[in-house]
Amino acid sequence: MLSLVAGRILSSIGTLLFVGLALFALTRSGPGSPARIVLGADATTEQIAQFEQTHGLDRPFLSQYASWLGDVMRGDFGKSFVTGRDVATDIVGALPVTLSIVLFAFAIALVCGVGIGVLAALRPGGAFDRLSRFAAVLGLSIPAFWLGIVLIRFLAVDLRWLPPGGYFPLSAGLSLHLQSILMPSVSLAVYYIAVLARMTQASLQETLRGDYVRTARAMGLSSSQVVFYALVNALPPVINLAALSFGYMFGWALIIEQVFNIPGLSRALLNAISQRDFLLLQGIVFLFTAIFVFANLGADLLNRLLDPRQRAAA
Amino acid sequence: MLTVPTNRRAFLAAAAGGALGGLLPASLLHAQPTSGKTLTIVLPSNPITIDPINQLNHDAMVLGQTVFENLVEYDVDGVLKPQLAKALPVISADKKTYTFDLRDDVTFHNGKKMTAEDVKYSFDYLLDPANKAARRSLFTRITKVTVLDPLKVQFELSEPYGPWLYFLTKYMGIYPAGSRKEHGDDYFKSRPAGVGTGFGVFEEWKPNDYISFRKNPNYWRKGLPHWDRLVVKMIPEDATRVAYLLTGQVDLISAPPPREFNRLKTMPGVTGASRPTLGGALLMYTNNLKAPFDDVNFRKAVSCAIDRKTIGEKVYYGLLEPSAVPAPSRGWWFNAEADKELAFDIDKAKAMLAKSKYATGAEFDLSIQAEPYLLDTKDAAIFVQAQLAKIGIKVNLKVYEFSVLIQQAIRGEHQAALQVFMSPGEPSYIMQVCLTPEQVLSKSTGYNNPEFNQTLAAAFAETEEAKLKEAYGKLQALAARDAPIGVLGYVHASNLWRQALQDVKVNQGLTIAPGEIKV
């Protein structure tokens, strides 16, 4: 088991390195130079060349990648040649903002998604099941950015219950913090509530149809005990999906942070893309990749703990 | 007695309020204060720098102009006025020497008095190629800056070049002697505290969120500014920017969405205004060196087939002032006759096309920018595509990111490219940059006409408005004759603000002018 865990961790690190290389190649393969953004449309060719020389952008690709990777290994993400700020400091400053929204959204998605899925699975074809299916279709269909704009329109502009955007850290007070992350988190969570509800319902219903469940019922186990054990067995695919969802949420947060004017990582990433800020772009995407890879690693390990068959296979 | 809400909105509010009440105490909702003496304004994009000598984004110039000032300034009506100088400069007969008398009541934010030494230092720093100032190229005709006495400074130019005064207002600032070496460029870029003379003192920059300034208590224009703190927020999403204004979270927004501008400015508690800028043009860079734009009749046919009035009114809801020549119709140098030559006339367009090499029809790629800047050029491009189809010209729209599109235009790799081009509002800038050789955007049109170049050079040596009008008029006539570039019109600067604000004036120079606004 230990060697398997070590193997998974090593392969995750390998994935990260590969993604780092691909990312590095992609950011530099575009036709636009950051010099054009920094120096402007009317910069001369000489100015552009001088900028690229100063910032090492004219060096061979692999040489640039090797020094970047070496620096990253030492925790140094470099200094943005667009803004002049330290990339690691910018990332560390913005990470808690994105994390608080994604974690809150993830908690909402997990609690509501699994809860709705379980309730729907208990009475297949019942009113709640039919309602949850309808709601899931809606949840899957509504684009998060549109939902965000609708929420701003009604909850902020019309009803004036919540601020239309912006972010307050927890240190500003729990209420202010919740005000600022409620609408963004709900906008982000709705799609994943639907996804997780559908998966939980399908997986649990299938498990409940299993022979061993019938046997358990025949042997006189209470309904709640049966559902509990069935749920544990139905969870692995849900956990995998939740881990994927957690990673994807960082991607969707790109749009949500833009809509709600939240100064998080995704906002920084969008600016980095539009400003050709290679180092910041690489730093953030590298971090997102790490979160995605390690969330999946965590899900795998959790599944092995829950599922004796997977442990045996290890 | 308990009252029951009778309308739908009140009922919904009451119902949802009850549901959320436990979670969010009503007293704490809307905790972002806008009352008191804080003026909060909004920009649509994230600035890269505050430093005016490196600033490229026009709407972000409000940041530099809050901290730094210049010898002269454009006022909101586009009139050149003295700022740190007592009066406009005395210009020598050969138009190569400019002498300024400086105000004696100006101090930097660090308390040091501003003198001619500071002015010389600021320009010497800008002009030194080693310092790589992005805006250096505009000022390279300055050969020498001399301190005549502590409050008198003289500039010598290599050749007559009047436009440089206009560029000062946006791309330059005066900072204390020695300050660049003392603090470094990053300091000027992101935290220039103590190094300006402007009405706002830099306070804080929270990346991707806001930049704040506090009132300069020793500002030389007594009584200004009327606020204690200025907060400049960055909100890229149109709907969110508007929501911030409607909910009173901010006081003034720039670049409101054109589609909603007219509706929003009549909403309760909100007002707004717009006016055409002198330097923001919606241009179609037509590559004269590539077919089908290598034929002057084809270029004229394209120009005459475009109904700019409808684009201005129906596509941009009044936020684009039609013009077919590189001059705003409200500018004093506008040549209406030249404009008429290239204006919308479908019969003329057909006749011109028939006279061209491409009489049987032509097709070209029109590059457009993916992300809107001031206006969404995609809207105009679709309209132009439909209009040209009426005379048998097929337009293929190609969408590119800004840096890719501008690269195409600079290298002359495009056939046609549509872009909002922001210039300082100086009459000759667009013509110089796009229509004369060895300029950054020379290849965007590939146009090189000795008569045009000589007329422009002569205009640079003029300072009298009447003679300048004649020169600029001739340049527009040449542009009408050769149609080297497509001009669709001049962009409006537009702002929306809370009705409670006073003395808000929309700036023809496009940036927001917050100095005199009363909160």
CB count in 10 Å sphere of residue B371: 13
Nearest-by-CA chain B residue for A47: B132
Of B269, B268, B206, B247, which is closest to residue B34 (Cα–Cα)? B247
The rounded distance, in Å, linking the Cα atoms of A302 and B272 is 57
Residue A53 has pLDDT above 50, yes or no: yes
Mean pLDDT by 10 residues, chain B (519 residues): 42 43 40 65 88 84 94 89 96 95 97 97 94 85 96 96 89 96 92 96 90 96 94 88 91 88 90 90 97 97 97 93 95 95 97 95 92 86 96 95 83 94 88 91 95 95 91 97 97 93 90 90
Q: Where are the beta strands (DSSP E) in B340-405?
A: 362-369, 393-400
Range with the largest mean pLDDT of A65-74, A119-128, B402-411: A119-128
CB of B434 closer than 8 Å to CB of B283: yes
pLDDT of residue B321: 95
CB pairs under 8 A between A and B: 159
Is A260 within 8 Å of chain B by CB?
yes
Q: Do A164 and B185 touch (CB under 8 A)?
A: no
**pLDDT band at residue A61 under the 50/70/90 scheme:** confident
Q: Do A83 and B371 touch (CB under 8 A)?
A: no
Q: Do B240 and A260 touch (CB under 8 A)?
A: yes
The rounded distance, in Å, linking the Cα atoms of A57 and A112 is 48
Q: Do B246 and A263 touch (CB under 8 A)?
A: no
Task: Indicate if ipTM > 0.85.
Answer: no
pLDDT of residue B31: 40
DSSP alpha helix (H) spans, B109-236 = 116-127, 164-171, 179-183, 185-190
Mutate to test the interface with A, among B237, B369, B429, B440 (most CBs of A within 10 A): B237
Backbone angles phi, psi at A109, to 5 degrees: -65, -40
B contacts of A40 (beta carbons < 8 Å):
56, 134
A252-276 pLDDT, tens digit per residue, is 888 899 899 898 988 788 888 877 7
pLDDT of residue A220: 85
Torsion of CA B188, B190, B191, B192, to 10 degrees: 30
pLDDT of residue A270: 81
pLDDT of residue B98: 97
Of B299, B327, B261, B290, which is closest to residue B489 (Cα–Cα)? B327
A contacts of B443 (beta carbons < 8 Å):
none
Token output for B395: 């337009």
For chain A positions 48-87, those within 8 Å of chain B (CB to CB) are 50-51, 54, 82-85
pLDDT of residue A42: 61
- Residues in a beta bridge with B215: B200
Is B249 within 8 Å of chain A by CB?
yes
pLDDT of residue B33: 44
**pLDDT band at residue A1 under the 50/70/90 scheme:** low
State the DSSP string of A145-158. HHHHHHHIIIIIII
Largest CA distance in chain B: 86
Is A161 within 8 Å of chain B by CB?
yes
pLDDT of residue B84: 97
Amino acid at position B53, single letter: I
A87-97 pLDDT, tens digit per residue, is 888 888 889 99
Is A164 within 8 Å of chain B by CB?
yes
DSSP secondary structure letter of residue A221: -
Is this structure's pTM higher than 0.95?
A: no
State the DSSP string of B297-332. HHHHHHHHH--HHHIIIIISTT-EEE-SSSS-TTST
pLDDT of residue A45: 76
